[in-house]
Structure 1
Amino acid sequence: MSTQITTEPLLRLTWTDPVTGAHGYLVVHTLVSGLATGGTRMRAGCTMSEVEDLARGMAAKTATFGLPVGGAKGGIDFDPKDPRATGVLERFCEAMRPWLDAHWVTAEDLGVPQHLIDEVFVRLGLQQSYHAAIRRSPDPERTLRRVHAGLHAPVPGGLLLGDVIGGYGVAQACLGAAATWGWQVGETTAAIQGIGTMGGAAAWYLHEAGLRVTAVADAAGTLHDPRGLDIPALLELRDSYGEVDRSRLPEGVRELPRNAVLAVDADILVPAAISYALTPDNSLDVPAKVIVEAANSATTPEAEAMLAARGIPVIPDFVANAGAAAWAWWLLLGQVGADPADSFLRLRTEMQAKVALLLAEWNNGQVPPRHTAMEFAQAQHREPVHAAESEPLLIP
């Protein structure tokens, strides 16, 4: 059986901003009942090829978690720190409005926080970035209220459920790996590359579980303490771009070069920053026993093969970081609500079960987790249907 969902996407669109000249891309890999889901990212250097890879990953992600939707992705080649970035995002969304109105359910991604894309949708009269799904409900206002309540439900640490659920899922993938191998949580260590929305929440929940996070990295470098970092204190020092104020570091924290996080002696490595972070050039420096991909396409195929040859499995992104996408659809479908405990229980149960399955195959025959996960996604995958076909009401 092939381990690919499909090779060719259903649709590729390229957009040029009439104001800045920036390029944006939409790739719809598959439609299921006329819908596809996937975030919108913004970074300088974003390419159509990158967005296509991410859309393919979203198709695998939705299939793996049995979600009634296909996979898509948006990307804009522009610096999110540029003061013109919000305008670029708004014009991109306006240009993609036919898809956003009826077929493409988008959300936050690298460089585009959820609150920003929601503000853009409000200005466009679409209310919320899940609009294409919400509009299918027999009672869109009720569904919109449930989505808002879930996204804005407070959780310990002063954060919101919608901001942390993806990182919580990554943390559960890490804890699932530790449990599979019988590691004691308090004796297990992790290094996390990137402490923005996804990596920061993963660090928080690993720390809360008692696992020692010994290294984190942001754009300015790696912060390391082999005894375990005070993650809540570090997260308090972040700015809006996920970078830590070095002038107020806790005592005992060493500053290392940015890429040193990959070579830190830790049991689990969580690349949670950029795509293609692990390459053939740096994979031999990795001493971790398992990689848990929090960033999309964090490991190149060549690097993953090299890691596997050294006995280091990679839990693929379309499993490990699927928590936010899966939870959004559970919320849309009314399967969870505004109580974080219900969402955490369901995601913890599903994520740890999937990681246990992947690592059982690895332990039994060194079958790469990506191969097992793709086989599972292929079995779950439904044939894509075209947007012109009937659009059933999926949401209560």
Structure 2
Amino acid sequence: MTTLHEPVNGSNVSVPGAPRVVHSDRRPEAGEPLRRLTWTDPVTGARGYLVVHTLVSGLATGGTRMRPGCTLSEVEDLARGMALKTAAFGLPVGGAKGGIDFDPKDPRALDVLSRFCRHMRPWLDAHWVTAEDLGVTQPHLDAVFARLGLGQSFHAAIRRSWNEQRTLARVQDGLHATTADDRLVADVIGGYGVAQACLGAARAWNWRTGATTVAVQGVGTMGGGTAWYLHEAGMKVVAIADAAGTLYRSGGLDIPALLDLRDDYAEIDRTRLPADVECLPRDAVIATDADILVPAAVSYAIRPGNVADIKAMVVVEAANAATTDEAEAMLTDRGIPVLPDFVVNAGSAAWAWWLLLGHVGADPADSFDRLRTEMQAKVALMVREWTTARARPRETAWAFAAANARALADEIITIP
């Protein structure tokens, strides 16, 4: 039995010297989801969806997104991905996702979100732990949960703890914790995890940090955070792309200065760029001559039509489903490994559950140290299997996710 105050075994992946992983072409999260729910807003006609792919100890986790055109199949794919993320990090929870087909900029958006959550309240009360996602911020969710009298969007897990008030206080302290430069840990931990995946890959291949070059597609929360932490670590981020195009400098960009030029839509003000920064087409980032390519913007950014342009030695997926299956197969044939999204971008999800379980608290150093250790260990294992057995990193990650899922099958998070 596991409570919200006890560690969960099986979340660490061993590094060189560990037994070989057992590879399989079967995805560990394959199969039909446990539950699909659809909802129609009686006021606006907006459609909403909840897909619970798996429950572990009666719980599933996954954010709620809002965007025009959101579909049930999209939410189902994301729920499946969440099941993989939680299994990859040995978290004692299943995967789920919520989605609403509505414009988050519409002044009625918060009311739509409130009605959606009210309809899904039985799941939010007992099983589904949600958080921010595309078009939905954590403050939006906090306001809705306050309206519903549920306290916080982690409610379904918090209510199972030994001491609900103490656990809620710890979660709130963690969510409001800031780094030394006054950035919320919750906002940057995901990008930090991606950066650690890049640094772990460089370390596994014995690349010198200062000589390693990176191209990042996306300057939002994930892409911007990744670029910032890689720059801080000493890697050369030579290209970064937003919706308006790619910015390039062969000697490395001044990432902190560029990120300060972003507007509310995560676009960099071109009128204030240094003179030595080149402005290239948006898709040029994919073809950048860099050691590491980090697609951190949209799904299916790497596809058969542009895969031949890639010059990087490794692709590190920060966006969900950044590479199509066919494109990944083509990259594999060229000897270019793809580190999969469900490991690379799982930092935020893993951190939230470490916070819930009491593995980390309000001290950012504890959170960053744990994520760095776990991410680099997983990357080291994937790189080792790629180097010695030409096993795709995705297959290796499937294998340790499946092993973790089996180990956690009988775990229970509850009050004894």
TM-score interval w.r.t. the shorter chain? over 0.9
Which position in structure 1 is the counterpart of 2:283?
259
User: When the two structures are superposed, what TM-score results if normalisation uses the length of structure 1?
Assistant: 0.94
CA distance in 2, matches of 1:328, 1:18: 33
Q: Kindly provide the amino acid, as one letter, of the partner of residue 393 in structure 1.
A: I
Instruction: Give 2:414's aligned residue.
Output: 392
SS in 1 for 2:399: helix
Question: Residue 239 of structure 1 aligns with which residue?
Answer: 263
Matches within 5 A, 1:271-310: 271-310=295-334
Name the structure 2 match of 1:195. Answer: 219
State the 1:271 CA deviation.
1.2
- Does the 8 A contact of 1:40 with 1:108 survive in 2? yes
Report the alpha carbon displacement of residue 328 of structure 1 after superposing the two structures with TM: 0.7
1:222 corresponds to which of 232, 237, 246: 246
Per-residue Cα deviation, 1:159-186 (whole angstroms, up to 9, x for no partner): 1111111111110000001111111111
- Is 1:331 aligned to residue 355 of structure 2? yes
- The whole-number CA distance in structure 1 between the counterparts of 2:182 and 2:397 is 34
State the Cα distance separating 1:390 from its structure 2 match: 8.0
Equivalent residue for 2:168? 144
> Which of 69, 78, 88 pairs up with 2:112?
88
2: CA distance between counterparts of 1:145 and 1:178?
38
User: Taking structure 1 as reference, are residues 17 and 218 closer, same or farther at Cα in structure 2, changes over 3 Å only?
Assistant: farther
Change (3 A) 1:339 1:51: same
Distance 1:101 1:320, change over 3 A: same
Residue number in structure 2 paired with 1:76: 100
Of 225, 234, 237 in structure 2, the residue corresponding to residue 210 of structure 1 is: 234
Determine if contact 1:178/1:185 at 8 Å carries over to the other structure. yes
1:17 and 2:41 are equivalent in the alignment? yes
Indicate whether 1:314 and 2:350 are aligned.
no
Q: More deviation in 192-201 or 325-334?
A: 192-201
Measured after TM superposition, the shift of residue 218 of structure 1 is: 1.8
Mapped pair 1:125 → 2:125: no
**Cα RMSD for the two superposed structures:** 2.0
The equivalences for 1:166-181 within 5 A come to 166-181=190-205
Between the aligned partners of 2:224 and 2:257, the Cα distance in structure 1 is 12
What's the TM-score, normalizing by structure 2? 0.89
Q: What is the CA-CA distance between 1:301 and the residue it aligns to? A: 0.9
Aligned to 1:43: 67
Q: 1:391: how far off?
A: 6.2
Distance 2:415 2:260 in 1: 42
For structure 2, the residue ranges without an aligned partner over 5 or more in a row are 1-23
Q: Match for residue 403 of structure 2?
A: 379
Q: Does 1:101 align with 2:125?
A: yes
Question: Residue 114 of structure 1: CA displacement?
Answer: 2.4
Letter in 2 for 1:210: G
Cα distance in 1 for partners of 2:216, 2:120 equals 34
Greater shift, 108-117 or 194-203, is seen at: 108-117
Q: State how far apart, in whole Å, the 2-side matches of 1:79 and 1:257 are.
A: 28
Identity of matched residues, %? 71
What is the Cα deviation at residue 203 of structure 1?
A: 1.1
Do the aligned residues in 2 keep the contact of 1:34 with 1:385 (CA within 8 Å)?
Answer: no
1:77 CA displacement: 2.2
Number of residues of Structure 1 aligned to a counterpart in Structure 2: 392
The one-letter amino acid paired with 1:233 is A
The change in CA–CA distance for 1:139 and 1:241 in structure 2 (over 3 A counts) is farther
With 279-288 and 29-38 compared, the bigger mean Cα shift is at 279-288
> C-alpha distance in 2, partners of 1:91/1:385?
34
Amino acid at match of 1:302: E
More deviation in 164-173 or 275-284?
275-284
Q: Supply the AA of the counterpart residue of 2:258.
A: L
Deviation string for 1:214-260 (max 9, x for gaps)? 11222222222222111111222223332222232233222222222
Structure 1 pair 137–28 and aligned structure 2 pair: CA distance change class (3 A):
same
1:346-385, aligned counterparts within 5 Å?
346-382=370-406
**Match of 1:381, SS?**
helix
Q: CA deviation at 1:385?
A: 8.0
User: Contact 1:31–1:385 at 8 Å: present in 2 too?
Assistant: no
Contact 1:32 1:383 in 2 (8 A): no
Gaps in structure 1 of 5+ consecutive residues: none
